[in-house]
């Protein structure tokens, strides 16, 4: 049996996530390490890097673009929520990267007295899955107001590693 890229990602994240009862707050978003233009926090989760002049790392910029392509219809512009979907800039204050990934990959259903909601699974959507880290990074930056509303005005150059990963992921079957 061969798993698709999305299936393998979903299986790996679901196995590492467990249940919501095991959820862990993401911790300090400060970047402590950079690999090929991608930044990571002390826990090893992807994070943002915004320079004092407002220049964002390329992955945060990419996350902005992908969020507004795939997520804003339900979760509102700038990750501020809507009448039927939560403000993701607030949600990522409670979810670590593994839980966020598990929800995006596998979907989620919340049943509350008269206020049911469903987050569809995006495991088969390459426009979300190939940029999952980027979307998370953008949401983390919005959660701390490190990145304001609207399109970031300045961004770092696109790293070669980004282009390589994008080509590999988008062409995977």
Q: Please report the beta strands in 79-169, taking only residues with DSSP state E, as ranges in sequence order.
A: 108-110, 117-119
Q: What three-state secondary structure class fits 149? A: coil
pLDDT at 113: 66
pLDDT at 22: 53
pLDDT at 117: 74
Higher per-residue confidence, 25 vs 167: 167
Q: How far is CA 36 from CA 120, 131, 163, 165, in A?
A: 32, 16, 11, 11
Residue 41 · residue 123 · CB < 8 Å = no
> 14 in the Ramachandran plot: left (φ > 0), alpha (ψ -120 to 50) or beta?
alpha
| Dihedral angle sign, alpha carbons of residues 168, 59, 131, 47 | positive
CATH number of 5-171: 1.10.760.10
pLDDT at 118: 82
Average pLDDT, the chain: 83
Which tokens hold the place of 13? 């994240």
**Model confidence pLDDT, tens digit, residues 36-83:** 999 999 999 999 999 999 999 999 999 999 999 988 888 888 887 787
Give residue 160's pLDDT band: very low, low, confident or very high (50, 70, 90): very high
**Model confidence pLDDT, tens digit, residues 12-44:** 444 344 444 456 677 789 999 999 999 999 999
Of the listed ranges 68-72, 86-90, 112-116, 160-164, the one predicted with least confidence = 112-116
Domain range summary for the chain, segments of one domain joined by +:
5-171
pLDDT at 88: 84
pLDDT at 105: 93
pLDDT at 97: 93
Environment class of 166 (CB within 10 Å of its CB; exposed 0-12, middle 13-18, buried 19+)? middle
CA atoms within 13 A on the CB side of 124: 1
């Amino acid at each position: 049996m061969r798993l698709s890229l999305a299936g393998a990602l979903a299986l790996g994240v679901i196995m590492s996530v467990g249940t919501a009862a095991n959820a862990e707050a993401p911790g300090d978003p400060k970047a402590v390490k950079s690999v090929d233009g991608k930044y990571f926090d002390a826990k090893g989760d992807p994070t943002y890097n915004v320079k004092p002049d407002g220049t964002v790392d390329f992955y945060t910029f990419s996350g902005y673009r992908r969020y507004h392509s795939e997520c804003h219809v339900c979760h509102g512009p700038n990750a501020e929520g809507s009448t039927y979907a939560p403000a993701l800039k607030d949600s990522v204050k409670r979810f670590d990267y593994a839980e966020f990934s598990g929800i995006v990959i596998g979907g989620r259903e919340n049943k509350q007295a008269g206020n049911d909601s469903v987050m569809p699974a995006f495991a088969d959507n390459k426009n979300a899955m190939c940029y999952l880290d980027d979307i998370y990074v953008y949401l983390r930056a919005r959660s701390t107001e490190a990145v304001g509303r609207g399109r970031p005005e300045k961004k770092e150059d696109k790293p070669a590693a980004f282009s390589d990963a994008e080509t590999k992921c988008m062409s995977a079957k």
